[in-house]
């Protein structure tokens, strides 16, 4: 932490640490509040264009109704992959999900550790040989062979402390866990 005075209130990095600790205490006291379910609905529009809507979820013991409106997200493919660029493609969205989760985890961990951040930026690269997904060569998997994430993190703490924050975020990020370890996925189909 820097030697300048800490802010009098509980907001750090845009996170209310008072609310953060109250939330942690509430879940410690009543662990069933930790049960969440997130949801998405997707609808095909045409070709590589499909659209997801996201609004409600279950969490902290109840159906959440705090979101005033639904989010709408469009996916697509570039021309070389037979689309018309109606949005980023699904693999790019996976990179976004990973970047967003690691970043938010860094910001929350820094807030908890009393570190004021000034910059968190990342670039991500995913390597894919599309011979896999196209069914042309089974030597290649369908998805990315590997993903590289490069973070630039700056704030009022020495390098070692900033690196420790990123390491802790990596250890606790929901999407980092899912992307590196995988998740069981069931697929059910109705045709009428």
Does 43 contact its own copies by CB under 8 A? yes
User: Closest distance between its own copies and the C-beta of residue 169, in Å?
Assistant: 9
User: Closest distance between its own copies and the C-beta of residue 74, in Å?
Assistant: 9
Does 178 contact its own copies by CB under 8 A? yes
Residues 135-164 that bind its own copies (CB under 8 A): 135-137, 140-154, 159, 162-163
Sole binder of its own copies in the list 60, 113, 114, 116 (CB under 8 A): 60
For the chain, give the number of residues: 192
- Backbone conformation region of residue 84, classed left if phi is above 0, alpha if psi is from -120 to 50, else beta: alpha
User: Closest distance between its own copies and the C-beta of residue 76, in Å?
Assistant: 9
Does 54 contact its own copies by CB under 8 A? yes
Strands 15-16 and 11-12: antiparallel
Does 116 contact its own copies by CB under 8 A? no
CA distance 28 to 20: 12
User: Closest distance between its own copies and the C-beta of residue 6, in Å?
Assistant: 18
How would you class 44 by CB atoms within 10 Å of its CB: exposed for 0-12, middle for 13-18, buried for 19 or more?
exposed
Does 115 contact its own copies by CB under 8 A? no
Maximum Cα–Cα distance across the chain? 66
């Amino acid at each position: 932490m820097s030697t300048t005075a800490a802010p009098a209130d509980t907001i750090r990095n845009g996170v209310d640490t008072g609310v953060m600790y109250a939330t942690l205490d509430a879940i410690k006291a009543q662990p069933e509040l930790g049960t969440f379910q997130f949801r998405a609905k997707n609808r095909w529009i045409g070709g590589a264009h499909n659209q997801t809507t996201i609004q409600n979820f279950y969490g902290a013991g109840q159906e959440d109704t705090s979101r005033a409106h639904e989010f709408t997200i469009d996916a697509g493919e570039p021309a070389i992959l037979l689309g018309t660029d109606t949005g980023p493609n699904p693999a790019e969205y996976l990179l976004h999900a990973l970047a967003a989760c690691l970043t938010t985890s860094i910001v929350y961990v820094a807030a908890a550790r009393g570190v004021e951040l000034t910059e968190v930026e990342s670039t991500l690269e995913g390597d894919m040989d599309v011979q896999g997904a196209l069914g042309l060569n089974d030597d290649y998997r369908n998805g990315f062979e590997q993903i590289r994430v490069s973070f630039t993190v700056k704030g009022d703490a020495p390098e070692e402390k900033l690196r420790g924050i990123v390491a802790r975020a990596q250890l606790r990020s929901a999407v980092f866990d899912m992307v590196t370890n995988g998740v069981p996925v069931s697929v059910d189909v109705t045709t009428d």
